Amino acid sequence: MATLSSRRAVLAQLAACGLLAGCADDRPRSPVLPPTTPPSQTTDPVETPSPTRTPPPAPPPPPSPEELAERVWGQLSAEERLGELFVVGVPAEDPGRAAGLLDDPPVGGVFLSGRSGASVADVRTLVDGWQSRRGPSPLWIATDHEGGQVQLLRGSGFDRLPSALEQGRSSTADLRDRAAVWARQLATAGVNLDFAPVADLVDPAHAADNAPIGRYDRQYGGSAEAVQASAGAVVEGLAAAGVTATLKHFPGLGRVRENTDYADRVVDRETGPDSAQVRTFARLAASPAAPFVMVSTAVYAQIDPDAPAAFSQAVVTDLLRTRLGVEAVVITDDLGRARAVRSVPVGQRATRALAAGVSLVLTAEPSTLAPMVAAVRRRRDRDPAFARACDDAARRSLQAKARRGLLGPTA
């Protein structure tokens, strides 16, 4: 019994000590941390700065017409620059004759002459073939598309145009819209230059006696105001479709009797520097549409009695360029077949015109091109002033091509 009692006492002491130890233990303890919880959804995340992005460089602005023309000029050889000075006629009814004319040297333009019943699509196929052989400077593709008896392209897709006199009876707005329709037909065919409108002033009382213009109703009316309004509407309508107009025949054929195409010497004894014909051309040439000006082969006794206008510095440079301030491309009337210049050697027709200040030499006779080019080449090579005049003329034509969009997009 005693032994059992002793054991129980010992156990009781041990238990009591264990309880006391649990209450009085003063050893250092690790702090109890609260459980880890995810951050509150309302806590703002830490933002990582994104890398700075450099915007792509802006594309360069398109060049001006002058800049683009100069760029193309730098790509042309001396012979190609020489060729830019010429527009050569190709019979519209026999376009195969152009095969040997476009490459030696490559001319600046082609004039579809004669009469043609080819459709718009057929003309376009022909023109595309010519243009595909070109370098950086496409061809001027020109035709006479006045109306009435002067309309060279008459095939399917080309409207038959009324005479200029009839056109002049329309309102300005209506004529502008109709001209734009006709121009779209030309543009679809690949034509980009129209030798129209006529800006000559014809005396209504003597229209039948005026062989080149009045006899064929090629005038738009009997007054300067009527001609300016109607011809201006045609210029704007053509430009709206991408076709460049040509004002003809400076200083005017409205006061002559004979036709320069068929008469040896045609003289205008009335038209002077301040005449209404001259002022009408100047106002029309100032159009934003930038029409060409075609200079006639008649002699103007009150301006320069010694030379046809196309060979006259007094007409082209002194009057048209300097006094009237016209910056347009100046193209000659035909120097190939016209009787009015037949007494002048073929080569001199080109050199005299360029020396007078024209930009483009037009010849409707393909056989005259080679001697004209040869004569200009010879004079260019020995005459620095003439060479500069030729370069200026070719650059002016290239600038006109750039403005018309033939060289590519511009500002």
Find the Cα–Cα–Cα–Cα dihedral 319, 80, 186, 178, rounded to 10°: -20
pLDDT at 62 over 80: yes
Q: Which of 50-54, 148-152, 317-321 has the lowest mean pLDDT?
A: 50-54
Q: What is the mean pLDDT of residues 393-404?
A: 96
- 8-state DSSP, 108: S
| Nearby residues of 27 by Cβ (< 8 Å), 6 or more positions away | none
214 φ, ψ to 5°?
-60, -35
Q: What percentage of the chain carries pLDDT values higher than 70? A: 86
pLDDT at 95 over 90: no
pLDDT at 42 over 70: no
**Residue 374 — pLDDT band, cuts 50, 70, 90?**
very high
Q: pLDDT per residue over 267-321, tens digit each?
A: 999 999 999 999 999 999 999 999 999 999 999 999 999 999 999 999 999 999 9
Q: CA–CA separation, 199 vs 245, rounded Å? A: 11
Q: pLDDT per residue over 225-261, tens digit each?
A: 999 999 999 999 999 999 999 999 999 999 999 999 9
| Nearby residues of 126 by Cβ (< 8 Å), 6 or more positions away | 95, 118, 190
Token readout for 391 is 């370069």
Q: What is the mean pLDDT of residues 366-379?
A: 96
Q: Go through the domains of the chain in sequence order and give each one's CATH number.
A: 85-403 (3.20.20.300)
What pLDDT sits at residue 122?
A: 93
What mean pLDDT value characterizes the chain? 88
**Residue 99 — pLDDT band, cuts 50, 70, 90?**
low
Helix, strand, coil in percent for the chain, rounding step 5? 45, 10, 45
**Residue 209 — pLDDT band, cuts 50, 70, 90?**
very high
With H, G, I as helix, E, B as strand and everything else as coil, classify residue 194: strand
**How many other C-beta atoms are found inside a 10 Å radius of the C-beta of residue 242?**
15
pLDDT at 386 over 90: yes
**Residue 45 — pLDDT band, cuts 50, 70, 90?**
low
The answer for 326, left when phi > 0, alpha when psi is -120 to 50, beta otherwise, is: beta
The b/e string for 271-285 (b: 16+ C-beta within 10 A; e otherwise) is bebebbbbebbbebb
Q: pLDDT per residue over 165-199, tens digit each?
A: 999 999 999 999 999 999 999 999 999 999 999 99
32 φ, ψ to 5°?
-90, 115
What pLDDT sits at residue 5?
A: 43
Q: Which residue has the tokens 């008469």?
A: 263
Q: What percentage of the chain carries pLDDT values higher than 90? A: 78
Q: What is the mean pLDDT of residues 46-54?
A: 64
pLDDT at 344 over 80: yes
Angle at 184 between CA 118 and CA 62, to 5 degrees: 125
Q: pTM here?
A: 0.85
pLDDT at 36 over 60: no
